[in-house]
Structure 1
Amino acid sequence: MADNLHARTDFVRFSLEQGVLRFGQFKVKSGRVSPYFFNAGLFNSGVSVGRLATFYAQTLAASGVEFDMLFGPAYKGIPLATATAVALASQPSMQDRSIPFAFNRKEAKDHGEGGVLVGAPLQGRVVIIDDVITAGTSVRESVEIIRHAGAQPAAVLIALDRMERAGPDDALSPHSAVQDVANNYGIPVISIASLDDIMALLQHDEQFSEHREAVAAYRNKYGVVR
């Protein structure tokens, strides 16, 4: 448990160092003004993506989820699944395995091998890898693709769980997008870190103390408790 907590804290600090996690005032897709913003697209160098993939691999290996391969939904999930498959080869518990991966295209290819899938054939227990879950659209599409191929969705692995309810302020959903995915598809959603881990950093690191109140107020208004 302590090692897991240490890894989550390390990931939050790494995200801050890379400018992927920032504090301030940000208008997000929902129209809300959030006191923090997480943009995984800013993991955009070989070194940063390599370290990110190591966090994904460590989190998946420690989760206890049994799986046979990885799937990355287009487009953000493509480099994530690819790099994580590489990083898994260095995990002590995975060194006797070579984890295959696949991803989809947004548009079907009508020449060559054709179709929308690239990579290894979808089979067995498949872990879907993405950056965050906002509306759950890419997860739904991924689950449909995996099941259509005769394979089984085993889990969803994401970088950050915002632990945030959707909907207008006067009619907030009872669950977060992550909880809805877990409930709707009956599969676990594993995250490297969550809003709780961001809050823990704010509570214990004076460098970021000025943001504590704003993030806590945002969580109290929109967050879920588990």
Structure 2
Amino acid sequence: MDELAVKLFDIQAVKFGSFTLKSGQVSPIYFDFRLIISYPAILEKVAGLLWKKCSNNATVDLICGVPYTALPIATLISVTNRVPMLLRRKEAKEYGTKKLIEGDFRPGMNCIIVEDVVTTGTSVLETAIELRKLGIEVTHAIVLLDRRQGGKENLSKHGIELSSVFHVEEIMASLEKQSKVDHKVAEEVMNFIRGNRQPILNRNPRLHVSLEERRSSCKHPIASRLFDLMMAKKSNLCVAADLPSLDEVITLAESIGPKIVVLKIHVDILEDFSLTKIRQLKEVARAHEFLIMEDRKFADIANTVQQQFHGGVYRISEWADLITAHPLPGPEMITHMFGDSSSDSRRTCGCVLILEMSTKNALTNEDYAKEAAKWGLIASDIVTGFVGQSAPNSDFPGWIQFTPGVNSSSASGDSKGQQYCSPAKAVLERGADIIIVGRGLINSQDVVATAETYRTEGWAALTQRITNP
């Protein structure tokens, strides 16, 4: 290890002086491991040492390098050890596949992330988030150098074990031992490292704020009501009642109503719809205290969706507490659909924006979700939350995240492109406040017992996320 440390110093991959880091801090040491690619023998040595750090090479399905320095290292590991590699882009291209993750994989495969330097762990976490969106398991990352400034601890909170070839203390000890730096420089570096251990800046405070505090930030009465129900019932369970008969939906609601906070339906698949029956469902919702979400996924011009919402045979605005909408047509669709500020529907029904879907190869990419979240915040007096597979970078704690595709079965998805995740993964890794469970419950032998299991698991995960940030 002393030999490798000296070689890295000799090629100036380890520099001493005064360097401004990405965080804005001025550091007395800088690691420029991009230079390694010009020295094949060193690159080979680094790749070999990193591969040895894998906890169990036999169970590695995939590896993925954090762009960009780690990409050639990951490539060499892939070729040498015959382990398939995925490529993560920093941003999706505007042409071709437009994907952030390239490669051949299946949901449920596990992937080890490769990085050159870890400080707080943000870059590794960002890569893990993109992989997890696709159903890929990420529990381990390997890094050439851990600066020991909080990265290992931060990643552990997100279920990622970090293994490193070097700690910064070890590199400094080797260089001082080989007379490459004097004791004064080594001490200056170590004082800087010890004085600048830091957690990842919380990119989404919403995830760790108490429900009581978040409720006080709500700008829509339905969002406030939902927080009240969650706290009172100790539940964050939404059941997707995708059944063909409204009579069946009512029967299901009567049995599982005490366990849930939201019942999601698709009114246009109901073969026996009538306003009389929908009012019966509304009475069940009042009795058992849950909200009704009509998963209509509005996505048309404002004039059309206004008629779809208020008129037609369904008259959705008269009974739905929540509706879903695609942000694709733009913010005018939402504002005009609900009417002006005096409209009753603005207060009695909240809009849930669909930022991401749980289906494979969905076109709702990261850039789309970010832009949609921006105008959703502008219309926060109407928008109560969003459907997503990850938490958008928003500081607004009053938004509620609904995550679909929650299923405790061992299957990673169905034959139609749906991708599953467990309640714990949805809440702890993907940022869900409300877990949406469909076939995993309605097809079970005992829907009440299954609902209680999902309620317990979902609530436990949410409590853990809030109390152990």
Shorter-chain TM-score above 0.5: yes
Asked if residue 125 in structure 1 is aligned to residue 110 in structure 2, the reply is yes
Please tell me whether the aligned partners of residues 161 and 191 of structure 1 are also in contact (alpha carbons under 8 angstroms).
yes
What's the CA shift for 1:38? 0.5
Of 182, 188, 205, the match for 1:209: 182
Please tell me whether the aligned partners of residues 64 and 114 of structure 2 are also in contact (alpha carbons under 8 angstroms).
yes
What's the CA shift for 1:147? 1.7
Of 175, 190, 194, the match for 2:163: 190
Q: 1:62 to 1:41 in 2, by over 3 A?
A: closer
Q: For residues 55-92 of structure 1, what are the alpha-carbon distances to aligned partners after superposition, in whole Å with 9 as ceiling and x for unaligned?
A: 233333244234221012333333232122123x3xxx
Q: 1:206 to 1:86 in 2, by over 3 A?
A: same
What's the CA shift for 1:187? 2.1
What's the CA shift for 1:135? 4.2
Q: For residues 19-78 of structure 1, what are the alpha-carbon distances to aligned partners after superposition, in whole Å with 9 as ceiling and x for unaligned?
A: 110122323233333221101222242x34x53243233333244234221012333333
Larger radius of gyration: 2
Instruction: Please name the residue that 1:116 is paired with.
Output: 100
State the SS of the aligned residue for 2:172: helix
Structure 2 distance, partners of 1:21, 1:200, is 13
Number of positions where the alignment pairs a residue of Structure 1 with one of Structure 2: 194
Instruction: Please name the residue that 2:173 is paired with.
Output: 200
Please tell me whether the aligned partners of residues 67 and 90 of structure 2 are also in contact (alpha carbons under 8 angstroms).
yes
Instruction: Please name the residue that 2:152 is paired with.
Output: 178
Structure 2 distance, partners of 1:36, 1:204, is 17
Of 73, 79, 84, the match for 1:80: 73
Of 15, 40, 43, the match for 1:52: 43
Letter in 1 for 2:89: R
Q: 1:110 to 1:208 in 2, by over 3 A?
A: closer
Structure 2 distance, partners of 1:53, 1:79, is 10
Instruction: Please name the residue that 2:392 is paired with.
Output: none
Q: 1:32 to 1:105 in 2, by over 3 A?
A: closer
Where structure 2 has 5 or more consecutive residues not aligned to the other structure, the ranges are 199-469
Q: For residues 162-216 of structure 1, what are the alpha-carbon distances to aligned partners after superposition, in whole Å with 9 as ceiling and x for unaligned?
A: 112xxxxxxxxxxx1232112x222211112111212322442334225223223
CA RMSD of aligned residues (A): 2.6
Q: For residues 98-155 of structure 1, what are the alpha-carbon distances to aligned partners after superposition, in whole Å with 9 as ceiling and x for unaligned?
A: 2000112233346544422223325522001122223433322222222222221131
Identity of aligned residues (%): 26
Structure 2 distance, partners of 1:44, 1:62, is 20
State the SS of the aligned residue for 1:56: helix
Instruction: Please name the residue that 1:100 is paired with.
Output: 84
What's the CA shift for 1:16? 0.6
TM-score by length of 2: 0.38
State the SS of the aligned residue for 1:121: coil
